[in-house]
Structure 1
């Protein structure tokens, strides 16, 4: 039985990581076609940095994702702290309301937002992309932070006030340090959700605000170029570096807290 479970687990890991390995391998493919492998080459990485259109879509995706993640995390922190201190009736109702966009199909939200922006004659661009991505990312960020805020001692504000802290000092020196891991997790999750979003972007992107997922999707009609594989390999490397950096910092913090 143990051998069967181990075999299934290994098979799942292989299945999950085959696409990642394939992207990295084909980014070094000397051939211009993904169907043929003709040796190793770095020319696609050089071509990537000369592709102004592809880099422009990458820049747009990064800007939208950073703004979305920052706004979503800030709102999530405020909502989570307010929810943790709220003891009135109807708490479950507004918690369900914040999670509602996760239940509604994203294509429905995209069509609805497009109708609203069209009726209000709001031009499509980066602001509409941020608003659309925020609807998707905000519930995720809130659920991450609210679970951590619910574990905080409710007497913390009173204790901080007794020690002479202002409300702002209580927030920055008491709450934020305690919520730092969940805040970082919420920001990274929101950034990833926005950066890889394609449904909302399809409806809400305008002229000059095409995102990277839309660019890659449109390239399927003519074939994925190896330069896109090179970009994917660099994004995988960047993700790995961020995950390792955050993980190492969290491990050091845990070790310091355990020793103290």
Structure 2
């Protein structure tokens, strides 16, 4: 009996490998060339080095720019002093918008799961629209809205813009947690004479904490990685890290950009993994 796969299975297997190569090979190349010791051409391998990572850390203030690790003698040849403020803006925007979105999204999920009111279906549909519509459409709409209100563009405008669509993601995450909860515990608490407020804080909220934290961490990642909406709603002095990288690539392709991109990818992967771990189903 032949163990060779059929032509159809072989073609499907080849297609699978080509798909994953197309998907992950550019990322692998980005990681490899972030260690390239060639300051002139990123695509010409000249040896292995950690210099670009040290310079990124020096520019965002995690190590001293005068450190030998950062190559202080020619640091400014390949580095932009605006990198540090852009990274700080991204952190502030991500934490601020994720915090607001977590509060709004959690309350929305509770209302949709536990309450019945006129227009509930329309409210649910409107709440999920920011996830469905293209980012560029949402970015332009928010820019027009802020301009109509004469609202100054800056960190606050980016935080508010990110909150608009991040609240939808938190609603989905917390809503999924609510759907998997055992309502018998809440009913038992009410039968024992606890008020709705006590039932919420002592029974419902502790069970929601993993979903709330997971939604917050997911919001941080989405906000930190966002380019399109931040590009339209940020002003002078409020450039986020993705917008900074977009502009830096148009000006010149520095080897440091590869290192920044890899660090952003690693940070996002760690936060998403933590969010998924917190959302995992627990045994009663």
TM-score w.r.t. the length of structure 1 is 0.84
The aligned counterpart of 2:256 is 227
The aligned counterpart of 1:8 is 15
**CA displacement, residues 205-235 of structure 1 (integer Å, 9 cap, x when unaligned):** 1111001111111112222211121122222
**CA displacement, residues 29-77 of structure 1 (integer Å, 9 cap, x when unaligned):** 1012222111111111222123341121111111111111222122111
Total equivalences in the alignment: 255
Distance 1:230 1:88, change over 3 A: same
Distance 1:94 1:159 in 2: 30
Q: Could you tell me whether the CA contact under 8 Å between 1:69 and 1:190 is conserved in 2?
A: yes
The DSSP-based 3-state class of the residue aligned with 1:39 is: coil
Matched, 1:53 2:82: yes
Distance 1:176 1:14, change over 3 A: farther
TM-score w.r.t. the length of structure 2 is 0.78
Shift of 1:248: 5.7
The aligned counterpart of 1:116 is 145
The aligned counterpart of 1:142 is 171
**CA displacement, residues 7-26 of structure 1 (integer Å, 9 cap, x when unaligned):** 33333333222232122211
Distance 1:158 1:129 in 2: 42
**CA displacement, residues 108-158 of structure 1 (integer Å, 9 cap, x when unaligned):** 332332233233332111110011111222222212222332343445434
Matched, 1:91 2:98: no
The DSSP-based 3-state class of the residue aligned with 2:38 is: coil
Matched, 1:43 2:72: no
**CA displacement, residues 78-102 of structure 1 (integer Å, 9 cap, x when unaligned):** 1111111123453222111111223
Instruction: In structure 2, list runs of 5 or more residues that go unmatched.
Output: 1-7, 60-80
Distance 1:59 1:223 in 2: 22
Q: Indicate the structure (1 or 2) with the bigger Cα radius of gyration.
A: 2
After the TM superposition, which residues 1-260 of structure 1 pair with which residues of structure 2 at under 5 Å, given as runs?
1-32=8-39, 33-51=41-59, 52-163=81-192, 165=194, 167-245=196-274, 254=282, 257=283
The DSSP-based 3-state class of the residue aligned with 1:49 is: helix
Q: Which structure would you say has the larger RCO, counting Cα contacts within 8 Å and 6 or more residues apart?
A: 1
Distance 1:180 1:242, change over 3 A: same
Distance 1:28 1:12, change over 3 A: same
Distance 1:240 1:47 in 2: 22
Cα RMSD, aligned residues only? 2.6
Question: Once structures 1 and 2 are overlaid, which stretch shifts more, 205-214 or 233-242?
Answer: 233-242
The DSSP-based 3-state class of the residue aligned with 2:20 is: helix
